[in-house]
Amino acid sequence: MTTQTLDPTALPNLAEQRPQRPWRKRTPRFKLAVVLAVIIPAVVTWFLWQTSTIPTPVLLVAIYLPMQLIASTLASIVTRGRRGIADSIVIVSAIGATVFSLVILLSLIGALIVRGWKALSPSFLLQNNIYISPSTPLEYGGIGHAVLGTALIVFLASLVAVPIGIATAIYITEVRGRAVPYVRFFVQSMSGVPSVVAGLFILTTLIVTGALTQSALAGGLAYAILMLPTVARTAEEVLRLVPDELRTGALALGSTRARTVFRVVLPAARTGIVTAIILGIARIIGETAPLLLAAGNSDQTILNPTGSPVASLPTYIFNNVALPYPDAVTRAWGAALALMIFVAILFTLARVLSRGRLGR
Partner 1 sequence: MSTAEFESVDVLESEITTPAAAATTELEARNVSVWFGQRKVLEGVNMSFPKNSVTALIGPSGCGKSTFIRTLNRLHELLPGAALAGEILYEGRDIYSRDVDPVHIRLAIGMVFQKPNPFPSMTIRGNVLSGLKLSGMKRSNHDDIVEETLTAAGLWTEVKDRLDRAGGELSGGQQQRLVIARALAVQPHVLLMDEPCSALDPASTLKIEETIRQLSKEVTIIIVTHNMQQAVRVADNTAFFLAAENEPGRVIEQGATTEIFGNPQDERTLDYVNGRFG
Residues at the interface with partner 1 (CB under 8 A): 1-8, 11-12, 14, 17-23, 25-27, 29-30, 80-81, 83
Question: Minimum distance between the CB of residue 245 and partner 1, rounded to whole angstroms?
Answer: 10
Q: How far apart are CA 128 and CA 109, in angstroms?
A: 25
Question: Minimum distance between the CB of residue 90 and partner 1, rounded to whole angstroms?
Answer: 14
Q: Which is nearer to partner 1, 29 or 355 (CB)?
A: 29
Q: Which is nearer to partner 1, 83 or 357 (CB)?
A: 83
Q: Which is nearer to partner 1, 5 or 209 (CB)?
A: 5
Q: Which is nearer to partner 1, 5 or 53 (CB)?
A: 5
Terminal Cα distance for the chain, rounded:
46
Question: Minimum distance between the CB of residue 250 and partner 1, rounded to whole angstroms?
Answer: 19
Let me know: does 341 contact 347? Beta carbons within 8 Å. Answer: no
Let me know: does 160 contact 224? Beta carbons within 8 Å. Answer: yes
Question: Minimum distance between the CB of residue 12 and partner 1, rounded to whole angstroms?
Answer: 6
Q: What torsion, rounded to 10 degrees, do the Cα atoms 228, 231, 237, 242 define?
A: -120
Q: Which is nearer to partner 1, 84 or 219 (CB)?
A: 84
Question: Minimum distance between the CB of residue 163 and partner 1, rounded to whole angstroms?
Answer: 33
Question: Minimum distance between the CB of residue 13 and partner 1, rounded to whole angstroms?
Answer: 9
Q: Which is nearer to partner 1, 19 or 57 (CB)?
A: 19
Q: Which is nearer to partner 1, 3 or 53 (CB)?
A: 3
Question: Minimum distance between the CB of residue 360 and partner 1, rounded to whole angstroms?
Answer: 12
Question: Minimum distance between the CB of residue 21 and partner 1, rounded to whole angstroms?
Answer: 6
Q: How far apart are CA 214 and CA 223, in angstroms?
A: 13
29 contact partners, CB below 8 Å, separation of at least 6: 78, 79
Let me know: does 225 contact 199? Beta carbons within 8 Å. Answer: no
Q: How far apart are CA 286 and CA 299, in angstroms?
A: 19
Q: Which is nearer to partner 1, 63 or 77 (CB)?
A: 77
Rounded to 5 degrees, φ, ψ at 41 are -60, -40
Q: How far apart are CA 195 and CA 200, in angstroms?
A: 9
Cα torsion 75, 79, 83, 88: sign: negative
Let me know: does 38 contact 72? Beta carbons within 8 Å. Answer: no
153 contact partners, CB below 8 Å, separation of at least 6: 216, 219, 220, 223, 291, 295, 310, 312
